[in-house]
Amino acid sequence: MKTEPAVRLPVGPQAGHSPVWTKRLGYVLLYVLLSLVALLQILPLVWLMLFSLKNNQEVFDMAPFALPATPRWENYVKVWTEGNISLYFFNSVWITVVSVVFTVLFASLVTFAITRMRWKGRSLVLGLFMVGLMIPVHSTLIPLFSLFLKLHLTDHPLSVILSYIAFNMPITIMILLGFYYALPREVEEAAVMDGCSVNRIFFRIVLPMTASVLATTAIINMIYDWNEFIFVNTFISSDTYKTLTVGVQNFIGQYTTDWGAIGATLMISILPILIAFLVLSERIVEGIAAGSVKG
């Protein structure tokens, strides 16, 4: 009795399975590409750091990425003491912190009320906040200046803080909306059964659950508030309340030929944002990933 020969199944590339070496090559190419992108992002920071440690002759005579003969750390001391940068830096820090805290808190309260409560007019309120995304900042300078002038808030930090909060609320609410809609209601229902009030539910349950997305909104607001120039330049006239962005402009106008000092000033202005991003980077990635999956 004759038996049929065993049928051999295709193995390897003929079976539709990519070889292991192909996958490894793909990972290597991906990491090389990402490394090149990261290097391109870091190069301007390296250039600025080297720029801030040179004198005028080295800035113009040496290559952009050449190391200075003698690092001039006194450029940082000069701008911090003589250029009044310390005052501008302190103003930028506390104005940014206050603005970010209140923006994130108010936006969280608004988003909680819109997504977790049922009341008439919530769609209208949400629409009004979203309309704020379409209002150009420049078109509001004259009305805001007139309003603050009547309220005696010109040349006062409160005018800048209120402007930051108002213009950052719409984008912050929009980021929080998708995350809040996806939050499970069972946790809140259990808290209500245990006798929790609305305030305790928000502060003790909802806010901790949204920590990752709050970090994302905080860093976005921080970048905008720290780098903002128009409101400070329009509403603030005295050096007492000027922030670092306007202070850099004044310093450059005063020391137009001291390029090393200008580079030190710019380096000081970007360091806090870099540090904040490095500290909150994991939270930011978690917030973006959670928002993409849940939203």
Evaluate if residue 291 carries a pLDDT over 60: no
- Whichever domain contains 218, its CATH number is 1.10.3720.10
User: pLDDT for 58-74, tens place per residue?
Assistant: 877 777 788 888 888 88
Beta strands (DSSP E) in the chain are none
Do 237 and 150 share a structural domain?
yes
How many percent of the chain have pLDDT more than 90? Answer: 26
Do 81 and 56 share a structural domain?
no
pTM above 0.95, yes or no: no
User: pLDDT for 184-234, tens place per residue?
Assistant: 888 888 888 878 888 888 888 888 888 888 888 998 899 899 989 899 999
Least confident of 10-14, 45-49, 115-119: 10-14
Evaluate whether residue 10 is within a structural domain.
Answer: no
Q: How confident is the model over 113-126, as a mean pLDDT? A: 87
Among 116, 221, 256, smallest CA distance to 177 is for 116
Do 125 and 37 share a structural domain?
no
pLDDT, residue 295, reads: 44
**Measured distance CA(150)–CA(144) in Å, rounded:** 10
Do 147 and 36 share a structural domain?
no
Do 161 and 52 share a structural domain?
no
Number of domains in the chain: 2
Evaluate whether residue 119 is within a structural domain.
Answer: yes
Evaluate whether residue 178 is within a structural domain.
Answer: yes
pLDDT, residue 5, reads: 57
Give the count of beta carbons closer than 10 Å to the beta carbon of residue 264: 28
User: Between these two residues, 256 and 65, which has the higher pLDDT value?
Assistant: 65
Evaluate whether residue 272 is within a structural domain.
Answer: yes
Evaluate if residue 2 carries a pLDDT over 50: yes
* 280-285 long-range contacts, CB within 8 A, separation 24+: 280/215, 280/218, 280/219, 283/211, 283/212, 283/215, 283/216, 284/215, 284/216, 284/219
What residue has token string 């006062």?
156
What residue has token string 């997504």?
115
Structural domain of 271? 74-294
Is 289 within 8 Å of 74 (Cβ atoms)? no
Do 126 and 206 share a structural domain?
yes
Do 27 and 110 share a structural domain?
no
User: pLDDT for 136-155, tens place per residue?
Assistant: 888 899 999 999 999 999 99
